[in-house]
Structure 1
């Protein structure tokens, strides 16, 4: 048993189940996010390939950091994801040639299909997850759609041994009704909320 490279929790490979699921979801979201980024940005008149926001505040100067915008666009995302596909392919299928030409949607889909191998065998899985998360966050900052943040609910009250309570922090995303302890795996449904609240440690308030 190893530990997740992102959170040090127990894992059967380089990522725990939670971060594997996050990586899979972000890979599938990236193409649509960067299409939306493209709709928010148009070419600058000062030079080829430079970009500027189409929605800016009125006035002589934009409050947007244009140097940041120069790095958040489809071309860069495509280049980064394609480089990850090429590296995974090099290790996973060493006798095959170079991957097809870079296309963000195809490369994201290919990486998502290879996630089982990536999590189990790819030493750079943690770096891949971090860079995909960074691309996702940068795109969301442009389109004004930040990722929902987990809400802390309390401590897990499940017994994991004789007289031993798990005590791990339980959190959920907005709208989730089923709570799952990421440490011991206990599942709490809406019918368990009152019990969960009642048995919270006195110092957790």
Structure 2
């Protein structure tokens, strides 16, 4: 029975997430640790001068600290959320194992990324995981002000199907992504040979 993506309703070939949202989740898991580190820079606002004086009478109702950053970083919200997801995935996949000890945000994200294929294929809460990871990333980006990376168009898929016809669907990837699966025919580009084939077999533009 075909399962539809829990995020967009697209056909997902028996998985909980479609290929597009699987790729997005992988990218978000990779981005969270760096965003977490960058958030610490925003914990205390930058001074307007080299020796700015703050008098007791100048204090207003607004906190000098970014309370959103306090929640995400100092309050360990981001870290605790990701560690809890790692613990739950392990509980479902290996119920006979004891829960993993807390190891920090980067470790939790890396572990989940390594188990991503199993997660999207067998973990019923994969959609909830993807939503919460996206919410954490959005919250961090709203503070640091970094734009989301945009997919790069690589060309058209050059894989040949069983009928001898070239696929021709558009192939794109996020910056730094090393493995891309064509959403139309399912061919995966990951080796150096794959990328060279994609590059050299692109249709020539008409003069």
Please tell me whether residue 72 in structure 1 is matched to residue 72 in structure 2: yes
Stretches of structure 2 lacking an aligned partner (at least 5 in a row): 49-57, 154-168, 190-197
- Aligned-pair CA distance for 1:69: 3.8
* Bigger Cα displacement from structure 2, 181-190 vs 101-110: 181-190
Distance 2:127 2:175 in 1: 28
Distance 1:105 1:174, change over 3 A: closer
| Closer, same or farther: CA 193–40 of 1 in aligned 2, 3 Å | farther
User: Equivalents in 1 of 2:81, 2:151: separation in Å?
Assistant: 27
Q: Give CA deviations for 1:145-175 in whole Å, capped at 9, x if unaligned.
A: 12034599xxxxxxxxxxxxxxx9x695798
Tell me: CA distance 1:33–1:16, structure 2 relative to 1, closer, same or farther (3 Å): same
1:148 match: 149
**Is 1:39 matched with 2:41?**
yes
- Encode CA deviations 1:89-137: one digit per residue, 9 max, x unaligned: 1111101112112411111111111111101100111111111111112
Deviation at 1:66, TM superposition (A): 4.4
8 Å CA contact retained: 2:149, 2:175 = no
Partner residue, 2:140: 139
CA contact (8 A) 1:148 1:173 kept: no
Correspondences of 1:109-188 after superposition (within 5 Å): 109-149=110-150, 182-183=183-184
What CA distance in whole angstroms lies between the structure 2 residues aligned with 1:174 and 1:15?
A: 18
> 5+ residue gaps in structure 1?
43-52, 153-167, 196-205
- Tell me what 1:98 maps to: 99
**Structure 1 vs Structure 2 CA RMSD:** 4.1
Counterparts of 1:75-90 in structure 2 under 5 Å? Answer: 75-90=76-91
Normalising by structure 2, we get a TM-score of 0.63
SS of the counterpart of 1:101? Answer: coil
Distance 2:145 2:26 in 1: 22
* Cα distance in structure 2, aligned partners of 1:89 and 1:128: 13
State how far apart, in whole Å, the 2-side matches of 1:65 and 1:171 are: 44
Shift of 1:40: 1.9
Q: Which has the higher strand share?
A: 1
TM-score by length of 1: 0.64
- How many residue pairs get aligned? The number is 173
Would the aligned equivalents of 1:3 and 1:16 in 2 still touch at CA under 8 Å?
A: yes
| CA contact 1:41–1:54 (8 Å) conserved in 2 | no
